[in-house]
Amino acid sequence: MNETMPKKPTISTRILIGSVVKNTLDEELGEIEEMLIDPETGFVSEVILSTSKFLGLGKRIAVPWDMFKIDAQAKFLVIDIDKDFLARIPSYEGS
């Protein structure tokens, strides 16, 4: 590894798992249950969002990682979708 290369900031998945997800209206949508890794790239491809405690939907939803933004204090994740749209997304049936 090149010692002169600046290190990019990173966030541990331990911090993100269980984190609250809010929309841009500051409404709580769910929490991160799992993060799925693309085996070819080694990068996070999707996040499994559990909505049961927040919306009463009782389902898990796969959302592409690139749709999320992390708030400045890394206390929660933000996604630009509303509760009605989230309710229409089919449940994730994976592991």
| Helix/strand/coil for 5 | coil
Whole-number pLDDT of residue 37:
94
Q: What is the pLDDT of residues 45-92, one digit of tens each?
A: 999 999 877 666 678 999 999 999 887 665 778 999 988 888 888 899
DSSP lists the bridge partners of residue 30 as 21
Alpha-carbon separation of residue 38 from 13, 55, 63, 79 (angstroms): 15, 29, 14, 21
- Indicate whether 2 pLDDT > 60: no
Q: What is the pLDDT of residues 7-17, one digit of tens each?
A: 777 778 888 89
Whole-number pLDDT of residue 76:
79
Q: Which CATH number fits domain 13-88: 2.30.30.240, 2.30.38.10, 3.40.50.150, 1.20.950.20?
A: 2.30.30.240
CA atoms within 13 A on the CB side of 21: 32
